């Protein structure tokens, strides 16, 4: 794909409205730590905020109507300080500046207790929300008339209109085809709901009952968050809480900058990766990332992230409108490494001094480019950031597969024989990349989200699951094996069904590193093994199925880490007995001969005596650099 060396200029009033110019200056620095909040109070406040988030998320999960929220758990919460800087977020690396779009339209000094702000406008929010199904609610929290914090809840709504049920479709070519767009709106004004706006929103959904129920749950989640943060302010006082949040931000920023300095030597480090296609015959689309570390005259380091050489935007819906905060948030989350003493917050983005993106690239597309399938690009960006760390000599995981989406829409007969329509949007887990000291995670959707249980699917939808398990040999071979993907077979009980599917990393599988091999690829088969068997393009819509058809979904695995011949023999045997690796692959890739339930030690020693040569990366073959 082509890429332009010239940054595009927005010249019309409408273009400026939909692609607001972001500040080219460095992101704001965290407030300096003070002496107002002592270390013990800091940890108590941190724990209290985490408890408030857990309560918000539990309420949302238990009261939402749609499956993607209730079962998939596609929702997040966060707390921001009084200036709108994220102080405590969920462990999700796709957050950007969530409050800035609200401040743009509603100045902070106009905000009052009981106000609630709402948007899903991807372009108007500069990628703070990156596809239209995600609804963001944000409320200020006051103490004695002073604005002290903001609380956010965010969730994926099942259907908001658009060209197809479910709103997102591989067929989309502009964002208007992906459902109703809500610019930043005051949903509650001092506690009074803007019912007319809600009516318009729900009227655009094909499933308004779900939309109404999910919005009530999301509003209730924010409400309980405002109450709990208010209680923390009442207990400790606004000055102590303000200082605590400032300390949390500074702590994260300092840690991330120190880790960046440990990983990246002075100079420019580069990594290139690609997604296969946009579903419209175009691709691959390459993302070219770099991170430069330079020493300033004052002795301070300057870190610059640059993605301007990435390919031009796609006609199809794989564009990722990446907020400038995302690279720092993702790197920050990697460096936090699950440390319970740290929190995911804006300290990650603040650790980078500059983020360069090119307007018109598929990582910063021009309005009204479609964005609905941006998840596969987002996942590849996260893996590419791991590659950037590894290229610099760091110890990041190998590449993940991008989680798979199926959207099934059609008609079934109820107990009375009447036709009813249904919508089943099912996100299916994949294998994650192996780590420097552990295997990749098997069958993971994304972060804290979950795969639908069999019982839930069969009770709630006109399908029967014939198979649900691990795809054998899908994890990349290595000293540490890549995670394995999932196989699901659905028997269709509906009268008719139209299928959309999103699978990537078929032509460009997840890479392995340091001798580890690339992960396996996914595929979609209708009526496997039957005379009418057919294969479905991996990013496509309009695939028709009827009652009695069988849909087989197989998802990809993660890349391996380290030479496969260095894998512990007991680990290989356990994989073979557990169905993760075939006996044939154990012998061919790992040099381990399994006979029955035991390792043939002599045959294995003979095989491993001839150790295959490897190179830095593996994607179908070993290479020194992924180009």
String of DSSP letters for 362-407: TTBPPTT---TTHHHHHHHHHHHHHHHHHHTT-----PPPPPEEEE
C-alpha distance from residue 224 to each of 48, 92, 141, 419, 567 (Å): 13, 21, 11, 40, 49
DSSP letter (8 states) at residue 620: S
Helix (H) or strand (E) holding 578: helix 569-578
**What is the CB-side half-sphere exposure of residue 153 using CA atoms within 13 A?**
29
In whole angstroms, give the CA distance from residue 559 to residue 467.
Answer: 25
Instruction: Answer whether 94's CB lies under 8 Å from 154's CB.
Output: no
In angstroms, the CA 584 to CA 409 distance is 40
Q: Which bin fits 493, alpha (ψ -120 to 50), beta or left (φ > 0)?
A: alpha
In this structure, are residues 158 and 168 in contact, taking their beta carbons and an 8 Å threshold?
A: no
Q: What torsion do the CA atoms of 55, 59, 62, 64 make, to the nearest 10 degrees?
A: -140
Tokens describing residue 291: 């991170």
Q: How far apart are CA 118 and CA 135, in angstroms?
A: 7
- Do 322 and 359 form a contact (C-beta atoms < 8 A)? no
* Close Cβ partners of 145 (under 8 Å, ≥ 6 residues apart): none
CA distances from 64 to 157, 211, 217, 445 (A): 10, 9, 5, 20
CA quadruple 353, 89, 197, 105: dihedral, nearest 10? -30
Query: Which residue from 151, 152, 150, 144 is spatially nearest to 239, judged by alpha carbons?
Result: 144
89 Cβ contact partners less than 8 Å away, ≥ 6 residues apart = 76, 78, 79, 95, 329, 343, 344, 345, 346
Residues in the chain: 627
pLDDT, residue 446, reads: 81
Element spanning 413, H or E: strand 404-413
Report the chain (627 residues): mean pLDDT per 10 consecutive residues: 38 34 41 75 94 94 93 92 90 76 96 98 95 97 96 96 96 98 98 97 97 98 98 97 94 95 97 96 97 96 98 98 94 84 88 97 98 95 96 96 94 94 94 97 84 92 96 98 97 97 94 98 97 97 97 97 98 98 98 97 97 95 91
- List the beta strands (DSSP E) in 145-254: 146-156, 185-189, 192-193
Nearest-angstrom CA–CA distance, 427 and 429: 7
What is the model's pLDDT at position 339? 75
The CA-atom distances, in angstroms, between 319 and each of 3, 128, 171, 374, 494 are: 14, 14, 13, 5, 33
Q: What whole-number distance in Å separates Cα of residue 237 and Cα of residue 37?
A: 10
Confirm if 609 and 593 have CB atoms less than 8 A apart. Answer: no
The alpha-helical segments, DSSP class H, found in 21-94 are 39-63, 67-70
CA distance 128 to 136: 9
Q: Give the SS3 label for residue 101.
A: helix
Collect all residues with Cβ–Cβ distance below 8 Å to 613 and sequence separation of at least 6. 622
Q: Please state, in angstroms and rounded to a whole number, the distance separating the CA atoms of residues 273 and 389.
A: 13
Cβ pair 378, 56 in contact under 8 A: no
Residue 559 has what pLDDT? 98
Q: Are 560 and 477 in contact (CB under 8 A)?
A: yes
List the structure tokens of 304: 């610059």
How far is 474 from 483, CA to CA, in rounded Å? 8
* pLDDT of 471: 98
CB 314 within 8 A of CB 282: yes
pTM score, two decimals?
0.92
What six digits make up the tokens of 431?
A: 């294998």
């Amino acid at each position: 794909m082509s890429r332009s060396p010239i940054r595009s200029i927005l010249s019309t009033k409408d273009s400026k409205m939909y692609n607001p110019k972001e500040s080219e200056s460095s992101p704001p620095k965290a407030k300096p730590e003070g002496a107002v909040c002592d270390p013990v109070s800091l940890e108590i406040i941190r724990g209290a905020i985490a408890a408030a988030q857990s309560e918000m998320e539990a309420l949302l999960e238990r009261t939402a109507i749609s499956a993607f929220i209730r079962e998939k758990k596609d929702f997040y919460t966060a707390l921001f300080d009084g200036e709108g800087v994220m102080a405590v977020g969920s462990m999700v690396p796709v957050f950007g500046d969530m409050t800035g779009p609200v401040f743009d339209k509603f100045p902070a000094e106009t905000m009052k207790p009981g106000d609630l702000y709402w948007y899903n406008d991807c372009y108007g929010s500069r990628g703070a929300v990156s596809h239209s199904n995600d609804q963001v609610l944000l409320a200020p929290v006051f103490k004695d008339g002073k604005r002290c914090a903001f609380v956010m809840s965010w969730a994926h709504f099942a259907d908001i209109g658009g060209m197809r049920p479910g709103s997102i479709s591989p067929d989309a070519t502009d964002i208007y085809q992906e459902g109703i767009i809500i610019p930043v709106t005051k949903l509650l004004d001092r506690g009074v709901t803007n019912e007319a706006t809600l009516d318009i929103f729900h009227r655009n959904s094909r499933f308004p009952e779900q939309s109404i129920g999910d919005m009530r749950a999301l509003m209730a989640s924010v409400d309980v968050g405002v109450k709990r943060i208010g209680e923390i302010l009442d207990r400790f006082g606004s000055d102590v809480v303000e200082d605590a949040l400032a300390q949390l931000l500074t702590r994260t920023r300092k840690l991330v900058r120190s880790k960046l300095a440990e990983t990246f030597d002075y100079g420019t480090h580069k990594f290139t990766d690609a997604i296969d296609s946009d579903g419209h015959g175009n691709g691959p689309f390459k993302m070219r990332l770099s991170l430069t570390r330079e020493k300033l005259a004052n002795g301070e380091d300057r870190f610059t992230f640059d993605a301007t050489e990435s390919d031009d935007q796609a006609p199809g819906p794989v564009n990722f409108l990446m907020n400038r905060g995302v690279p720092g948030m993702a790197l920050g989350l990697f460096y936090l490494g699950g440390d319970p003493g740290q929190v995911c917050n804006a300290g990650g983005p603040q650790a980078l001094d500059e983020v360069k993106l090119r307007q018109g690239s598929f990582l910063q597309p021009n309005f009204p480019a479609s964005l609905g399938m941006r998840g596969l690009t987002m996942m590849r960006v996260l893996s590419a950031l791991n590659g950037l760390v590894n290229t610099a000599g760091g110890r990041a995981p190998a590449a993940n597969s991008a989680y798979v989406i199926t959207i099934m829409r059609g008609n079934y007969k109820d107990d009375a024989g009447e036709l009813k329509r249904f919508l089943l949007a099912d996100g299916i887990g994949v294998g994650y990349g192996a780590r420097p000291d552990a295997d990749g995670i098997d069958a993971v959707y994304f972060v804290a989200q979950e795969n639908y249980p069999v019982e839930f699917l069969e009770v709630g939808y006109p399908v029967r699951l014939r198979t649900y398990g691990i795809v054998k040999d899908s994890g990349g071979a290595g000293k540490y094996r890549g995670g394995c993907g999932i196989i699901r077979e659905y028997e269709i009980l509906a009268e008719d069904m139209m299928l959309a599917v999103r699978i990537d990393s078929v032509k460009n599988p997840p890479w392995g590193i340091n001798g580890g091999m690339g992960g396996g690829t996914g595929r979609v088969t209708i009526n496997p093994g039957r005379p009418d068997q057919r294969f479905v393009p991996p990013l496509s819509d309009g695939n028709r199925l009827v009652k009695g058809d069988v849909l087989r979904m197989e998802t990809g695995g993660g890349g391996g880490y380290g030479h496969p011949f260095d894998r512990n023999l007991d680990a290989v045997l356990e994989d073979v007995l557990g169905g993760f690796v075939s006996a044939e692959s154990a012998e061919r890739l790992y040099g381990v001969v399994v006979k029955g339930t035991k390792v043939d030690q002599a045959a294995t020693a003979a095989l491993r005596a001839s150790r295959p040569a490897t190179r830095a990366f593996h994607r179908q073959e070993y290479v020194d650099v992924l180009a």
